């Protein structure tokens, strides 16, 4: 009996898909594509980057570094997917907040202005790889200190770039507009990922 990957992406039926992420949002989005996949996580990956690079390049380079770190763990029938999401505002990269004060600082930076959410994705087999990045523009309303504190206290967004999850309360009350992929802001640009996988015959076969 064919698994879902043979039905959804028959061009990649010989591969086992591995999502190299511990993010519950990325797992949820991958399941939404109807794909069968495994997860694999290793610690201690170097996520450093040249701070002079544009945001699109930073996210893509980090996803490529992650993929390189997993290469030694791969078998010949595996296709691995790595990703990294950053929030980019006023020329500064906002990653995951270190603590509550850092989360408050980030949300105050985002309040009342627009920022870019950029996700870099790398798709790799043992012999070939491709990578890309997707950018979404998000505009926040002006948020009060009470709203920021309420969100942090009730949702503890310490595992999220920019200290927020658009699918949570702050997205309901704070996001005025969005230009681009909503799912990209959640952490994985699934439409672009699916499109690349669907047309990957020349890359992976």
Residue among 91, 89, 79, 83 nearest 53 (CA):
91
* Model confidence at 41: pLDDT above 80: yes
Which member of 84, 90, 99, 159 is catalytic?
A: 84
Q: What's the pTM value of the predicted model, to 2 decimals?
A: 0.91
Which comes out higher in pLDDT, residue 205 or 169? 169
- Note down the domain range covering 28: 4-204
Are 169 and 6 spatial neighbours (Cβ–Cβ below 8 Å)? no
Residue among 151, 45, 133 nearest 86 (CA):
133
Percentage of the chain beyond pLDDT 70 is 97
| pLDDT, tens digit (0-9, with 9 covering 90-100), for 85-112 | 999 999 899 989 999 999 999 999 999 9
Q: Could you list the beta-strand ranges (E) of the chain.
A: 16-19, 38-39, 78-89, 92-94, 114-124, 129-140, 175-179
Instruction: Supply angle C-alpha 160, 151, 96, rounded to 5.
Output: 20
Phi and psi torsions of 84, nearest 5°: -145, 135
Q: What is the pLDDT of residue 202?
A: 54
46 is catalytic: no
Q: Domain of 113: which CATH number? A: 3.90.950.10
Q: What average pLDDT does the segment 140-149 reach?
A: 98
d(CA 42, CA 22): 10
**Number of folded domains that form the chain:** 1
**Collapsing DSSP states into helix, strand and coil, what is residue 66?**
helix
């Amino acid at each position: 009996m064919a698994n879902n990957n043979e039905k959804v992406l028959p061009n990649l039926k010989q591969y086992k898909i591995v999502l190299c992420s511990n993010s519950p949002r990325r797992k949820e989005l991958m399941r939404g594509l109807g794909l069968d996949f495994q997860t694999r996580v290793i610690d201690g990956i170097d996520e450093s980057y040249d701070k002079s690079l544009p945001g699109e390049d930073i996210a893509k380079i980090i996803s490529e570094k992650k993929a390189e770190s997993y290469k030694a763990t791969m078998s010949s029938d595996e296709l691995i997917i790595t990703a990294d999401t950053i929030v980019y505002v006023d020329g500064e990269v906002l990653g995951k907040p270190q603590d509550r004060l850092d989360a408050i600082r980030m949300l105050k930076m985002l309040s009342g202005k627009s920022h870019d959410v950029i996700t870099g994705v790398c798709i790799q087999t043992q012999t070939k790889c491709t990578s890309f990045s997707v950018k979404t523009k998000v505009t926040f309303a002006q948020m009060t200190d009470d709203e920021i504190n309420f969100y942090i206290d009730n949702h503890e967004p310490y595992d999220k770039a920019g200290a927020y999850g658009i699918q949570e309360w702050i997205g309901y009350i704070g996001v005025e507009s969005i230009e681009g992929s909503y799912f990209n802001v959640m952490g994985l640009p699934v439409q672009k990922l699916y499109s690349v996988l669907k047309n990957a015959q020349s890359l992976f076969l």
